[in-house]
Chain A
Amino acid sequence: MDVIIASYNYWIYILLMMIGLYAMLSKNNLVKKIIGMSIFQAAIIVFYVSIGAKRGATIPIIEHGHGHGAAEHAVNVMNYVNPLPHVLMLTAIVVSVSTLGVALAIILGIHRRYGTVEEDEIMEKIQ
């Protein structure tokens, strides 16, 4: 039980990832597959964001002259959130949105050509 509670963020991301993977592999509807893909990518974003987060920590910016000890607060590594994983995820979010866009555009094309977004019906029409 301790293992689960101490690192619950990892369990959450693994759970999300498995949900996404399940949808990608087993759903018949292409749009549902894409939703699964988005959940999969969101799981990784949750993972990155959670490793940078810290309870009760501040932003890593030194504020001059606002209350005594403000500067020391942000200089001590223990007291501020590591911004790097969060910044990386801004890029990853952009990437996942673009992937979603490309995938939806492809689904539109499939729908125009075959008149359906169900995988088995598409396969029937191809044969």
Chain B
Amino acid sequence: MISPEQYPVLIVVIPLLSAFIINVIGWFRKGFSYPLIVLSLIITFYLSVSTLLQVVDGGAISYRLGGWPPPFGIEYVIDHLNALVLVVISFVSLAAAVFSKESVKKELPDRIPQYYTLFILLVTGLLGMTITGDAFNLYVLIEIAALTSYALIAFGRDRALVSSFNYVIMGTVGASFYLLGVGHLYIMTGSLNMGDLLSILPAISGSRAIFVAFLLIIVGIWTKMAFFPLHGWLPNAYTYAPTATGVLVAPLMTKVSVYIMIRLMFSVFSADYVFNTLNVHDIIVWMAVAAIIGGSLLALTQTDFRRMLTYLIVAEVGYMVGGVWLANSAGITGAILHILNDALMTLCLFLVAGIIYHKTRGHHLDDIRGLYRKMPFTMAAFTVGALSMIGVPPTVGFFSKWYLILGAIDAGQWGFMAALIISSLINAVLFFKVIEVGYFEPMHGHHDDGHHEVTIDEAPFSMLAPLYVIAVSLIVVGIYTSSIITNIIAHAVPKGL
């Protein structure tokens, strides 16, 4: 058997190799793509969970690719923070892959192997972004994830092609800014290894080139994560993408970008530099306030369920960026916890939107009419997801919001606290509107008599099973929040804040 020391590299290699296998076997047998992708994601999930357990037991792991010692070779570093994110990515992508069976068959019947090849390459890119300890390797993996997601979105209907094109432009600008920032760091330090950069940078932290590098990198990452003024590409791209793409991309892309921001802030520039030397956190927290309020208000004006969710993603990005830049341990704990929680909540709601689209061929609010009677199981799970988004205990949404508010009080950022509360209220209005439409308004009947019997017409099992796993995990993770924080997240928060 393979020794656990090799698990870090296998987390990336197994999905990468299965992309080739799915593509080749797909030429001969289309039907094999789905079992293969599920199998490889199960293995990846197992590997990342056992890596997380190793980290919790024995501290951070450093894996040298090809045996080259850092800073010469590429190093994989797994500490508490990215071990957690790896588990989130592999869990969410496994659920999305299981879910995708019927929707891909229905929406893209003639391109199943190609679709799944891109799907698993995107997962590879995200896992690689999370695990790597090398700044340039990170750029390459960002681009792998981005290129595959452009293609996955372009498979969609209506305006998908145009929105995918806008995403290509914005995504390329973002990644190029990041690359330019890394170039500045390389000029100043001569190194690309994150740990090495962290040890060299404090000595030259007064330099203007380092400041420019920081600005370029952070703006590049913000473009990738759709932070408020730079969010323009996201809503259309995520609304018109194929169902299976939305389910994979919406929960993961922005959250992994937030992780990248945290990683670069604390593992390359150091908490001391970003919070004390730069002194820009007030401005950024106010930008986060704008993101939260702006995203929530824009969500309020939408009449399409899935489009409404995409604006909520913009607001949630504001939560996480603001939480990190509160510059205290409660805020950063809340932000890291929200990466986990928001991935689960967004996945739950996008799964519901996917099921509704699968059954009614639309996800306009009108399509939700009367669905509580027609699809009670789906809508029950939707209710759990909605309550979590609003922040009702014991669902996960409550706990991360709690920590974020604690952090805001600690830092004296009353604007951020107000934004969190206002956005919770707006979420409550939004979701109760959806629940009202689904529960009280009659079906969009083709007969005008309005008396016809409503029969239960649920989604297939392969769609309901992942939805229920996620809905239950929203509550289970909520109950175990305190042990997740003490065992994992507490170690990821930089010391001395």
Contact = CB atoms under 8 A, between A and B. Distances in A.
Contacts of B168: 37, 99, 102-103, 106
Contact of A44 (B143, B150, B183, B187): B183
B148 to A, nearest CB: 9
B176 to A, nearest CB: 6
Contact of B169 (A37, A47, A110): A37
Contacts of A98: 143, 147
B161 A109 contact: yes
A62 interface: no
A44 B187 CA distance: 14
Contacts of B143: 95, 98-99
Given A44-B179, A51-B187, A85-B186, A37 B172 contact: yes
Interface string B152-195: 00100001011011001100110010011001001100000000
A24 B139 CA distance: 21
A47 B154 contact: no
Nearest to B158: A126
A91 interface: yes
B274 interface: no
B350 interface: no
A97 B187 CA distance: 25
B151 interface: yes
- How big is the A interface, by class? 20 to 34
A24 B151 contact: no
A126 B150 contact: no
Contacts of B136: 88, 91
Contacts of B169: 24, 33, 37
A55 interface: no
B241 to A, nearest CB: 13
A107 B162 CA distance: 8
B161 A106 contact: yes
B159 A92 contact: no
Nearest to A88: B136
Interface residues of B, number: 23
A110 B159 contact: no
A37 B151 CA distance: 17
B129 to A, nearest CB: 14
A95 B150 CA distance: 14
A110 B172 contact: no
A126 B186 contact: no
A48 B173 CA distance: 17
A113 interface: yes
B179 A109 contact: no
Given A85-B186, A98-B147, A99-B172, A47 B180 contact: yes
A126 B162 contact: yes
B183 A102 contact: no
Interface string A83-120: 01100100110010011001101110110010000000
A102 B162 contact: no
B297 interface: no
B38 interface: no
Nearest to B159: A126
B164 A41 contact: no
Interface in A28-75: 30, 33, 37, 40-41, 44, 47-48, 51
B173 A24 contact: yes
A107 B165 contact: yes
B140 interface: yes
A85 B136 CA distance: 10
Interface string B226-257: 00000000000000000000000000000000
B405 to A, nearest CB: 39
Given A102-B147, A107-B165, A126-B159, A47 B172 contact: no
A19 interface: no
B161 A113 contact: yes
A18 interface: no
Nearest to B155: A109
A106 B150 contact: yes
Contacts of A51: 183, 186-187
Interface string B184-223: 0011000000000000000000000000000000000000
A96 to B, nearest CB: 8
Contact of A110 (B150, B165, B187): B165
Contacts of B187: 51
Contacts of A109: 154, 161
A95 B162 contact: no
B453 to A, nearest CB: 40
B162 A110 contact: yes
Given A106-B165, A110-B162, 20 more contacts: A24-B173, A37-B169, A37-B173, A44-B179, A47-B183, A48-B183, A51-B183, A51-B187, A84-B186, A88-B136, A92-B139, A98-B143, A99-B143, A99-B168, A102-B150, A103-B165, A106-B154, A110-B161, A110-B165, A113-B161
Interface of B: 136, 139-140, 143, 147, 150-151, 154, 159, 161-162, 164-165, 168-169, 172-173, 176, 179-180, 183, 186-187
Which 10 residue pairs spanning A and B have beta carbons closest together? A95-B143, A109-B161, A103-B168, A110-B161, A106-B165, A102-B150, A106-B154, A37-B172, A44-B180, A44-B176
Interface of A: 21, 24, 30, 33, 37, 40-41, 44, 47-48, 51, 84-85, 88, 91-92, 95, 98-99, 102-103, 105-107, 109-110, 113, 122, 126
16 contacts: A37-B168, A44-B176, A47-B180, A48-B183, A84-B186, A95-B147, A98-B147, A103-B168, A105-B151, A106-B154, A106-B165, A106-B168, A107-B165, A109-B161, A113-B161, A126-B159
